[in-house]
Amino acid sequence: MALKANLYVEFQGKKVDTKEVLAAAKKVWVEAGNKVKDLNTVDLYIKPEEDAAYFVFNETESGKIEL
């Protein structure tokens, strides 16, 4: 059986599911007219104190998601 892991960030009573943040980042990528198959890397930086997550796609394109 494969290991199933969940990663959450908790800060001041707020819980952030990293899977949801990754899904939101992928949505930004697709809504910009890109294809998921062209997304090679996603770096996520979750800043709960800012209610935001920052992302870097393919080590070149970056942006911010409100949590």
30: in domain: yes
By the 8 A CB rule, do 34 and 28 touch?
no
SS3 12: coil
32: in domain: yes
For 44-54, what is each residue's pLDDT tens digit? 999 988 999 99
37: in domain: yes
Regions of the chain where pLDDT drops below 50:
none
Residue type (1 letter), 51: D
pLDDT at 43: 97
Give the domain range for residue 21. 11-66
Sign of CA dihedral 21, 41, 63, 51: positive
d(CA 32, CA 62): 12
pLDDT at 1: 80
By the 8 A CB rule, do 47 and 33 touch?
no
The C-alpha angle 4, 45, 56, rounded to 5 degrees, equals: 100
